Amino acid sequence: MLVDDSSMYSDLAAQITTLLSRCSDLRSLRLFMVNTHFSGMLRDSHFPNLRTFRYAVAPDVFAALPAFINRHRNITTLELDCYYDEDFRLDDTWLPTLTRFYGDSLFLRSLTCNQTLQNVSIEFFDHDFEPALERLTSIAYAKLELVVVADCIDTPAFLGYVAMAVPRITSLTFRKLDPSAPAPDHLIFGDICEIETHLKILRSLRVLEFCHFDPDETGDSTKLMMIRAVDKSIIEMWSVACPSLVSIFWNGQRWKHIGTAWGMDYSS
């Protein structure tokens, strides 16, 4: 893996490209060198055994990157990080055996595979969720594990999109894109009921994690007990709607279904 913190000279980038070209059995390539451009490597190199490719995408590679990916159709793990604010569209890419994707939702729209995706982590820099989720409908394995990374998300509405696009999903996690960004507003009772409605469609969901909310914090043990009692009633309501659930992270606490009851899990 190559990472840089500042701009590197173009001749050094060329030397790295030359060195990589000699690695005929390369299986994993990670280039997180934001300020160094590898258009030549993307344009000319071919690694027949490449399985994992992770790259920091910049506008100068919009043309070369899809061609590189399409030459390496044995890739099973693809991670494309964004470091820019420009609008763009990549040419279509085809990875028939891809199982893991991590990156911007816009990259997902240009991706095609044989419904092999099992683990997906999508970063949403805008809130145009539907096109990316519609894409998942055609390329994801039925029993998908999905991580949604976004700020200020309308959680009940997004869950509705997920239920329509990938109803057999097995794991769904919400996380903040920017750790310092404000958390979404706490859900009101109507939101909790809307989530319950969507969960009725997700009959294979086992893990549900709301990691993007700030927990209710209090130093008062009596008040905390009351908060957890309310939380448990919410967890139980959701689990009735979706009986396959075995683990829920909610309000800063993980809950697990053990035997016939839900209880707080302090192991993690």
Render pLDDT for 18-50 as a digit per residue (tens, 0 to 9): 787 778 789 999 887 666 667 778 888 889 999
Q: What percent of the chain has pLDDT over 70?
A: 88
Render pLDDT for 3-15 as a digit per residue (tens, 0 to 9): 554 455 566 667 7
d(CA 61, CA 65): 6
CATH at residue 170? 3.80.10
Render pLDDT for 79-119 as a digit per residue (tens, 0 to 9): 988 766 566 667 889 999 999 999 988 888 889 988 899 99
d(CA 231, CA 225): 10
Residue labelled with tokens 């390496």: 72
What's the structural domain count of the chain? 1
Closest to 123 (Cα-Cα) out of 170, 181, 168: 181
Query: Could you tell me whether strands 207-210 and 93-94 are parallel, antiparallel, or unpaired per DSSP bridges?
Result: unpaired
User: Which range is least confidently modeled, 14-18, 165-169, 186-190?
Assistant: 14-18
Angle (CA) 78-81-84 rounded to 5° is 150
Q: What residue numbers bound the domain in which 257 lies?
A: 2-265
pLDDT of residue 200: 98
| Selected residue with higher pLDDT from 260 and 21 | 260
Render pLDDT for 239-255 as a digit per residue (tens, 0 to 9): 999 999 999 999 989 99
d(CA 197, CA 236): 14
